[in-house]
Amino acid sequence: METLYKKLVLAALILLISLKVNANTTGNKLSGRIIDVKTQTGISGAAITLEGTYLWAISEKDGYFILPGVQHGEYKLHVTCLGYVPGVITLSVDKDITNILLGLTESTLLIEDVIVTAQAKKVNLIQPG
């Protein structure tokens, strides 16, 4: 009985280890840089999403990003950032892609002026008396 228990525990450990190894090696890695078209400098804080998946990343200080766990297939990579026109590229993923370079153009969207007015509460500074 004790031998059967040890064999079951050993089999369960082997199964868990193999699942862990498979979880770490499944999918491909997409990485690259998001830049400003005009200045050619990296854009930090850009949101990178892969259409049809729950995968996303945020570009770092110099515009670099890494998106791990991408399965083989055709995808649209969407990039959005405040102050820029959104960008999208189509990718065919069958291995790691490490040289993605996507340039965003500054948004020229203008809004009308906003006028803020306020009125102070009137206070009687002279007390009767």
Give the tens place of pLDDT for each residue, 19-77.
444 444 579 999 999 999 999 999 999 999 999 999 999 999 999 999 999 999 999 99
pLDDT given at position 23: 47
Distance from C-alpha of 104 to C-alpha of 84, rounded to nearest angstrom? 6
pLDDT given at position 22: 45
Distance from C-alpha of 63 to C-alpha of 65, rounded to nearest angstrom? 7
Output 90 or 118, whichever has higher pLDDT: 90
Distance from C-alpha of 83 to C-alpha of 111, rounded to nearest angstrom? 13
Tell me if 86 sits within 8 A of 80, measured CB to CB: yes
**pLDDT exceeding 90 applies to what percent of the chain?**
61
pLDDT given at position 113: 76
Question: Maximum distance among all alpha carbons in the chain?
Answer: 101
Output 122 or 71, whichever has higher pLDDT: 71
For residue 58 the two structure tokens come to 């945020």
For residue 43 the two structure tokens come to 């854009």
Contacts of 108 (CB under 8 A, 6+ apart): none
Distance from C-alpha of 28 to C-alpha of 93, rounded to nearest angstrom? 8
Q: Does the predicted TM-score (pTM) go above 0.75?
A: no
How many residues are recorded in the chain?
129
